[in-house]
Amino acid sequence: MFVSLNSEYPAWMFGLCILLALAYSVLLYTVRKPVFSPRMNILLFALRFLVVLMIAMLLLNPFVKGLQKRSEKPVVLLAHDNSTSLLLNPDSTFYRQQFPELYQQFAEELSAKFQVEKYTFGSDLRSNMTPDFSEQSTNFGPVFLNIPAHYRNKNMAAMVLLSDGIYNTGINPLFLLSDLFFPVYTVALGDTVIKPDISVFDLRYNRVVSGRNDFPVEATIQVLMAKGQSGEVNLYMNDVLLSKKSFSIASDRFSSTMQFVVRDAAPGLHRMRIVTNTLPGEVVVQNNVREFYVEIIDKRPRVLIMAASPHPDLGALVAALGDTYEVELLWERQSTVHDIDADLLILHQLPSEGGLSAFAVELLQANSDMSLLLIPGTRTSVRGWNEIQSAFRLLNTQQPGMVESYPSANINFSLFNLSQELTERINQFPPLMVRLGGLQQEVSAINLLHQKIRGVVTPQALFAFGAGNKRKIGVLAGTGIWRWRHFDFQRNGSHEAFNTLMTKTVNYLVVNDDDNPLRIQVAQEIPFNTDVRIEAELINKSLERNNEPELSIEISQTETGIVFPFVFNRFKDIYQLNAGRFDEGLYRYVARVSMPEGDIVAEGNFRIVAGSLEARTAVADHGLMEQIAAKTGGELYYPADILQLAGKLNSNETYKTVVHFSERFEPLISKSLLLLLIILMLSAEWLLRKSNGSY
């Protein structure tokens, strides 16, 4: 490191420091009559001169400017598939016992030249974790989206992707490679031999069902290499066989959809199972069973949607809400408003001129406590809108046009919880078409999403909540939410983010305010071998979040009665808990916080559901691995050749250590040795004076 001495003051001021030190020393040891010997006087003069000079110069805050050299090895990323599909084949012993040692040797050979960063992936991306093949789903998204963003400014060499190519969540990884700036070398794991297999490939059902209705269950059965044999599918409720269906297998790649109807089921939570027969020679039998839960209630909250005209937004709303609520699209006027029984009314581009506007107004007047969700558009009447509610006034404008507005989540939103992952997904949603002029909202209204126009986040609400008299009111200030649903599936391989946003919104609007200040958020159904994550909030009398008291929770398995106690961690102004993984079954929780006025308790339940996504297919997709390598400039290797890949990377001369030089500034006043030196010189001067008969 090359160094130089600098200061923010001009150089002539250091000359003043020398003059000051010289004058002080001359005054003390020359002008005044010396009492010491000439040699001792010179020594004391020098000590005092140096001490004063150093103190004076340090007051000018000099600093050392250095040029620091730093070497950065090229980085090789190891992304290892951690899913259970690698163990669902005859060579599972190889992946349990032999391959981990080979993988470790591979990493050690690379570490001599490269900085090796290890990751495992399945449903989540984890760093520095030893693969244990426990993940129940595989998503390549975090590998190709999160990792490149983190290493954008690093000396990247390559990525080595070790996987069987099977993915069951997220989108096709081939669509995620455009932003990569390094080659991906793939190591094809798993078995590509197709063996006899029958599996419950897909299920379609409603998680919540109204007790007065029969409900359907639809299962898609997939069969491989079993032509001419017969299959059987059984539907169980609470271990009681409800129905059985048989079919003939017409080809070696066969699929069939079985439809069941469950009738006269009692209200409550029911454990359901779809079970197939086992084929001769079948190796993977975990995918022969799919378990799920159906909750039958006397009455589900009812959502009524009225629109000025057909629009793709309506289909998106029905698809998102249909599993949880009774949803009805109303296209024509009913005979009387008293025939309508709904907890929430959604008005899409209403009120407008004509159509159902008058009927919607009558319905709201007759049901003062009916919640309302408004979605304005080009057909919305400003006057009619402002007459039915006052929480969000639609502003008239001389330019009745539309503008694209992107969502930007409000980090201070508090009406219901949105996870960080959900917030990040929402912030990536495409824009809605919003009326120019915007909304004028009451001070008490709370924004869930702000409008971001041309890259600037504005105070204007894109999604907000307020109140009018007795009713709750929500406003989604633009049309085009069908694009949100489409984008969610295209980017993440599911509609989970969009559906969660809509169901949480409707749940807030239709459910009466919770008098319990302790509120627990946990998924109702959690896949087996997945961490149970719970969030909680405690609301004080000022309607503010407070996480100062300790919050504990007891989770008990209903069948065995075993109790698991936990204490929540505090995060910002809420509570968080990762309770780990549980066995299959139904669990009940009791959360408790002690307050001066007494304990506050919140109770509920969740289910750990059997049936791994990884078990749906165990046939490796090496073709996908080869395509990933080809599109990124890498190559495909097999486990037996993995050390050859290490040799190829080590011998590649394009991967070199990069030397960086950076300036470093360090103030001298921070050097403790200088302070020690000043103290030693002052102490030496005092001792010499004292020993020579002076003070």
Asked if 215 and 183 sit in the same domain, the reply is no
pLDDT per residue as tens digits for the range 321-366: 988 888 989 887 776 766 778 889 999 998 887 777 888 888 888 8
**Cross-sheet strand order for the sheet of 197-204:** 197-204, 215-224, 253-262
Asked if 501 and 362 sit in the same domain, the reply is yes
Assigned token pair, 524? 């109702």
Asked if 570 and 687 sit in the same domain, the reply is no
Q: What is the CATH number of the domain that holds 410?
A: 3.40.50.880
Asked if 86 and 111 sit in the same domain, the reply is yes
Element (H, E) at 465: strand 456-468
DSSP 513: P
Q: How far apart are CA 404 and CA 234, in angstroms?
A: 51
Q: Is residue 615 part of a domain?
A: no
Hey, what amino acid is at 634? G
Does the structure show a pLDDT above 90 at 107? Answer: yes
Greater confidence (179 vs 305) lies with: 305
Asked if 567 and 687 sit in the same domain, the reply is no
pLDDT per residue as tens digits for the range 623-667: 999 999 999 999 999 999 999 999 999 999 999 988 877 777 778
Hey, what amino acid is at 243? S
Asked if 438 and 326 sit in the same domain, the reply is yes
3-state secondary structure of 207: coil
pLDDT per residue as tens digits for the range 315-328: 999 999 988 888 98
C-alpha distances in Å from residue 160, one per residue of 96, 106, 504, 528: 20, 11, 40, 29
Q: How far apart are CA 315 and CA 551, in angstroms?
A: 41
Tell me the DSSP string of 371-397.
Answer: EEEEE--TT--HHHHHHH-SSEEEPP-
pTM over 0.75: no
Asked if 361 and 499 sit in the same domain, the reply is yes
Does the structure show a pLDDT above 80 at 679? Answer: yes
Q: Which of 297, 329, 357 is the last residue of a domain?
A: 297
Domain that holds residue 497: 302-510
Domain count, the chain: 5
Asked if 325 and 471 sit in the same domain, the reply is yes
Does the structure show a pLDDT above 60 at 97? Answer: yes
CA angle 278, 284, 290 (to 5 degrees): 70
Asked if 274 and 423 sit in the same domain, the reply is no
pLDDT for residue 184: 96
3-state secondary structure of 232: strand
Q: Is residue 616 part of a domain?
A: no
Q: Is residue 614 part of a domain?
A: no
pLDDT per residue as tens digits for the range 541-589: 766 778 889 999 999 998 888 999 999 999 888 899 999 989 888 899 9
Q: How far apart are CA 174 and CA 624, in angstroms?
A: 8
pLDDT per residue as tens digits for the range 34-53: 677 888 888 888 888 898 88
For 449, other C-beta atoms within 10 Å of its C-beta total 24
Q: What is the CATH number of the domain that holds 570?
A: 2.60.40.10
Q: Which of 451, 479, 510 is the last residue of a domain?
A: 510
CA-based nearest residue to 84, from 67, 96, 99, 71:
96
Q: What is the mean pLDDT of the chain?
A: 86
pLDDT band with cut points at 50, 70 and 90 for residue 513: low
pLDDT per residue as tens digits for the range 383-401: 888 888 888 888 776 556 7
Q: Which of 297, 322, 339 is the last residue of a domain?
A: 297
Q: What is the CATH number of the domain that holds 641?
A: 3.40.50.410
End-to-end Cα separation, the chain, in angstroms: 45
Asked if 49 and 179 sit in the same domain, the reply is no
Q: Is residue 558 part of a domain?
A: yes
Q: How far apart are CA 645 and CA 111, in angstroms?
A: 13
pLDDT band with cut points at 50, 70 and 90 for residue 485: very high
Share of the chain above pLDDT 70, in %: 95
pLDDT per residue as tens digits for the range 491-511: 777 888 899 899 889 988 887
pLDDT per residue as tens digits for the range 187-222: 999 988 888 999 998 888 888 777 666 788 999 999
Asked if 54 and 177 sit in the same domain, the reply is no
Q: Is residue 440 part of a domain?
A: yes
pLDDT band with cut points at 50, 70 and 90 for residue 163: very high
Asked if 331 and 469 sit in the same domain, the reply is yes
